[in-house]
Amino acid sequence: MPKNPFTDVWQFLTGTTGDYLHQGNWRYLILALFWILLLASIAIAFRNWQEDSEQRTGRHFWKSGWSGS
């Protein structure tokens, strides 16, 4: 049976996958850890984008993101 990737992501982020459910109440601790890591990484990326003006150019994005260097 094919799975829907959007549903899979939603279940992962809400802690309702089979792997989470087997952990019992510990799933909330692991779920909180994933959310903290996700939000912290977004905050760090945003802060770096604000402070480093070279991060805001399309040329920098294209060069670092697609050239492999």
Q: What pLDDT, in 10s, does the model give residues 9-56?
A: 888 888 888 888 888 888 899 999 999 999 999 999 888 878 877 766
Closest alpha carbon to 35 in 56, 14, 18, 52: 14
Looking at residue 46, its pLDDT comes to 86
Looking at residue 58, its pLDDT comes to 67
Residues 26 and 31: their CA atoms lie apart, in Å, by 9
Which pTM value belongs to this model? 0.64
